[in-house]
Amino acid sequence: MEITAAMVKDLREKTGAGIMDCKKALSGTNGDVEEAIKWLREKVIKASERSANRAASEGVVTSYIHAGNKVGVLLELNCETDFVARNDEFQRLAKDVAMQVAAANPRYINKEEVPAEVIERERTFLKNQAINEGKPEKVIDRIVEGRLNRFYSEHCLMEQPFIRDDSQTVGQLVKENIAKFGENIVVRRFMRYLLGQEA
């Protein structure tokens, strides 16, 4: 099947992947757009796994002030080189993640950052809740794990649905950008300020 420029453009708009990657994905899948999207996602996962252990000591500290000046965020987003840190797309990613923090108010960057005692307290609460709802004993543990995943998606930045495109999480957005830039990207820290409240 002939891969046209229009097909490549369409796939690029859907995925944000590079032109050559879109062409390769379409060629490798005989023009099947859904399969090409899967191919590109697998490539993103592999690239992010390769980059994950490399030091990310460059980057930016960015700010986001929400309309009305009542919510503000400072966020540090790291990458491996100054070249990528100065890139407009990288800086836009930093702003998008800072806006996510302002809008969704996460307490932690990722699941691994949640203190063990918080997880245990939440697990106990969810178990008691399931028992009080009269759920069968044999499914309670599964129910608790499912609800615990919901807790993570509400309170952990990387697990939250991305506010600009809720078909992906913030973690998936970061992985896509790792693949795009070919560098490790890490949300190092953030601070969210709400007018009249202690930090």
Residue 199 lies in a domain: no
Same structural domain, 77 and 174: yes
183 and 140 belong to one structural domain: no
Same domain, 36 and 123: no
CATH of the domain at 131: 1.10.286.20
pLDDT band at 121; cut points 50, 70, 90: very high
Task: Give the pTM.
Answer: 0.69
Residue 126, domain member (yes or no): yes
Structural domains in the chain (count): 3
**Are 46 and 18 contained in the same domain?**
yes
pLDDT confidence tier of residue 120, bands split at 50, 70 and 90: very high
Provide the pLDDT for residue 156. Answer: 96
Q: Which residues of 93-116 are buried (b: 16+ CB within 10 A; e: fewer)?
A: bbbbbbbbbbbbebebbebeebee
Amino acid at 19: I
Summary mean pLDDT of the chain: 86
Q: Which domain holds residue 10?
A: 5-51
CA angle 10, 37, 6 (to 5 degrees): 20
Measured distance CA(54)–CA(183) in Å, rounded: 8
Does 138 lie in the same domain as 44? no
Check whether residue 104 and residue 139 sit in a common domain.
no
Same domain, 102 and 64: yes
Whole-angstrom distance, CA of residue 128 vs CA of residue 125: 5
Statement to judge: residues 144 and 86 lie in one domain: no
Whether 168 is covered by a domain: the verdict is: yes
- How many Å is the Cα radius of gyration of the chain? 20
User: Is residue 99 domain-shared with residue 72, that is, in the same domain?
Assistant: yes
pLDDT at 49: 57
